[in-house]
Structure 1
Amino acid sequence: MSGPHMHSQIELNFVLKGAMTYWFDGRELSVDEGRLCLFWGMVPHQVIDRLPGTQFICLYVPMSAFLGTASLSRFREAVFRGSVIEALHLRPWDREVFLRWRDELLGGDESDIEIVRSELTARVMRIEREGWRDLREQASLIQNSNHRDADWVQHVELMLRFIGEHALEDISTDDVGRAAGLHPNYAMNVFKRGVGMTINQAIIRHRLDTAQSLLISTDMQVTEVAYDSGFSSLSAFYEAFHKRFGEKPVQYRKRMRQGHGDRIT
């Protein structure tokens, strides 16, 4: 991975063997064998180191499924604040189950994919119920990182949360700024400093991540995918999709279902 990246899904990482170190929004976090962590992909993150032979499984829960689970309210608050959640209770069969989920997602069968996503959502609910901790509380800011004012960080978190909850609706950069109680121009500057992209880019990224998921896991027509992902026109969707993925939506769907994709979302 060449640098920190972002996406709109909830990311789960299960370390099968070895250990790896994340750069996570200015902190270094290490996760070793047999540990299960999750976080919101809109927080900039990157794997910066791993022991030789390290193996881990990376799976994604769509934001729509995460938001639709009412029982996760406190847990959801922590995730939106940028917490790196570690499950405190693992089962002997977790390793086998994660391997099966990975294989079924790679297999491309739509029925299997739908079941896996339901099971992943249930696994997240069990993490919330059975106990978890925030790994950021054990990590220090990397030396020479910029220390951010608490109010400034809170504003960015509020804007990210608003985007996560409303990106599929007809929202504007002004709406995002108002959600954090900021003047639009100031909101745009704060957001760009904190996240590394503009508010509008973050909205489009979230919509494209949703479209990517729908293309892989459903037989919806491309037009339906475009509008269900929050795009106001088909032409805007095609332009944004090609700019991000380098191909048309139909070509992308075909390639992913043939098993040549490099990422399962």
Structure 2
Amino acid sequence: MQIKDFMIDQSLKELTEHRTVVLPIACYETTINENIHGYIPLHWHDELQFVLVRKGEASFQINEDKITVREGEGLFINSGCLHMAKDKNNNSGCVYICLNVSPSFVLSQELYTTFVNPYIQATNISYLHLVSKEFWANNILDSIMKVNQLIIENQPYFEIDISIHLTLIWKNLIMNGVQLEHEQKEMLKNKRMKQMLNWLHTHYAEKILLDDIARAGGLSRSECCRYFKRILKKTPLNYLTDYRIQKSLLLLQQPESNVTDVAYQVGFNSTSYFIDKFRKSMNMTPLVYKKYKNSHSPFVNNST
């Protein structure tokens, strides 16, 4: 299965249902630059995520860290961590397998408290880079591939085989020897960041001041800016502008939409300002983007 777009709610929580018919998991291939945004936008989910890059190179951001994942390598992204992904070179055609698993399904209920919960609560394991030269990581990468194949083949009892591989994945992950840390300061920082993003994504179409965003996180203006620059590498208002442009993409693809209406719908109070920011972000004007998307729509008959 190939996912080119996924829905997120106002807090950036992904709304994709991560499960097969029977199991609380999802395993699919993603080609990064085929996503509607041209990249995988910032989001989070309760599920644990395991990634295996099959082609090209990906640049991932997990919370405030950035990491390059090359072909044959992978990632473990912990539950609740903000993350996004871009094609490292924009044209490598990066493809990766994404395996999302509900934490409660990794091990049996009797083992969950001891062997799973301490890891998903740890503040020093937002992600782990999976490199094949590490024995434990190579085992995880092999199991990701096998789970993906099991779902594709859909043979009798494949769910049991998947469960076995998930157990092996988790055993190898906790064998890597990382000492767990649980810092209240880090937990509070993540909570405040999500509160600010949640507020911003609820009110993005309104007039928004820096004070409004800071107040949502219970922070001063300066602390709010430090949070955004540390985690998202941009100012709060620059992030807001980028988010508004993201929201405009789907609106521009509607046949009846026009650039001015879209600009005001996503919170810009000037069409010319919207066009300028859109061009800098997308390397084309909103009108060119709209015409291109409409001409490539599966519902448009391009025959002459």
Over alpha carbons, which structure has the higher Rg?
2
**TM-score, normalised via structure 2 length:** 0.43
Identify the structure with bigger relative contact order (alpha carbons < 8 Å, sequence gap 6+). Answer: 1
